[in-house]
Amino acid sequence: MSGLRSATLAVLVALSSGCLANDAEEFAEQLFQQNLALWEAEGPANYSFHVARGACCGWPTSTIRVLVENGVVVSRTYVSDGLDLEQEYVPEYPSLRGLFDIAGAARAQKPVLASIQYDPTYGFIAFMQFDINGSTNTDNFVYAVSEFEATPE
């Protein structure tokens, strides 16, 4: 885990200094591509995880359990009570592969804040935080993944 924090810190320090922005962006892109390739090569087809998502100004109030079978999300339920996630929120809670799509789309917008931490074993995104333009709260978001478990096929 300390390796993840060190890599994230290195990127943030380099970006904040300004003089290494290009190197930091290249490093962040390399990390992103390496971890995506690791997930695609080593990630199980069947797994579950918990994800907390926050938008605007705060951390989420609910944690969602996502169940994936053969690479496809088959359920999204609230950890607190087991009820299904409302349909309108389903796109915000993808598979672990889908989190790469969300992060990639955010990175393409050249955000003022971008922080991603990866799981050292499988490479999935364990945490990400973005602030796209820095002038409003409506484009900020955070995802935190926990309780990852590969399940038998």
| Residue 84's CATH number | 2.50.20
CA neighbor of 4 nearest in space, from 146, 129, 101, 115: 115
Specify the pTM.
0.80
Place of tokens 């996502």: 66
Q: How confident is the model at residue 83 (pLDDT cuts 50, 70, 90)?
A: very high
Please give the pLDDT value at position 142: 87
Helices (H) and strands (E) in the chain, counts: 3, 6
Number of folded domains that form the chain: 1
At 37-48, the pLDDT tens digits run: 999 999 999 999
Per the structure, the complete domain to which residue 127 belongs is given by 2-150
Mean pLDDT lowest among 26-30, 67-71, 124-128, 139-143: 139-143
Please give the pLDDT value at position 10: 43
pLDDT at 137 over 80: no
The CA-atom distances, in angstroms, between 26 and each of 3, 80, 144, 151 are 18, 40, 24, 35
